[in-house]
Structure 1
Amino acid sequence: MSNRDEYRAGPAAGAEVHKDGDRWTLVLVRELRHPPEKVWQALTDPVSLREWAPFDADRSLAAVGPVRLSTVGTPTPQISDTQVTRVEAPHLLEYRWGENDMRWQLEPLGDGTRLTLWHNIDRAFITMGAAGWHICLDVLERFVAGDPIGRIVGGDAMKFGWPRLKDEYAKQWGL
């Protein structure tokens, strides 16, 4: 029995926005109770990505080169021909998703990991992105802990606190 029905996103926290003209970067930080190697596997392995990420990948993200990412939870999947541009396992992963640069950094923190995600995102979508990643990272945390609740993306996220999170992030950032 999964705890999916009991899951609700906590309050908006652990995210900030860096503004550079029209280019905005969403920065999310999470402290996870698992070592970087275990978190790295969840960030790069296509089977693991299907447990928590807002996209499917046609290969592992743990190697530089082309990869196809397909959105999940959208009426029509958007397929992006993507480039993984930098891989330093198990600490740094960079790729381009659509028009957005993504950078994942994993730092050892005691027995666990400090995960930092930088996502360049259009200003009009930044609160939506923050709310979506907030939920995805909650699901990632449970998956890595061996208590998977299944991916929560797209319209499904509405039932788990996404609208409230979006509003809370907007308020935090004065948007």
Structure 2
Amino acid sequence: MSYTLEFMNQLWQLDAGGRARLKRNAGQSYGEARNVYDVFFRMLPHGVPDYAYDDYFLVATLFSIGTRLPREQQHESRAAQPLNPKESFGAALRKEREQRNNQTGSLDRRFNALLDADREQLPFRLRQIVRLLASRQIMINWSQLLDDLQKWDHQDRYIQRRWAEHYYKK
């Protein structure tokens, strides 16, 4: 089993208390986190390299604000919109863009700021957008997001290009 898949399974099994502790740390880096290391390290698969901790931690905290426990989902009037397993974060945002009926200026600005974000700005930018998507019940492909974040700093910026293509292309 891959590290990403094992980690995603652990996230889905996390109890409400652990999720709440992660949620309080959303937008913080792994190094800035408070009162959550025990939750994080119990979920983190053995063998994940130290340099990847920030990405795993970011996804764990975003997951806690961007998903609901099965019990919480029973009370929702609208079903969450599923994503194709290979769709990117840009594809999730496209669903929000399509719902806005040509009122996309502020969303476009947020998305472009996200694409231009460096590693330090990424947690803040992603937290804003994940909260928006969660409020609209638009699902995020968490495994793909984790994989993409691990490649965010590639010199070719191919992750940012793919997200932009999935967001803007008709």
Q: Structure 1 or 2: larger helix share?
A: 2
Whether TM exceeds 0.5 here: the answer is: no
Q: Output the TM-score relative to the length of structure 2.
A: 0.27
Q: Output the TM-score relative to the length of structure 1.
A: 0.26
If asked which structure has higher relative contact order (CA below 8 Å, sep 6+), I would say 2
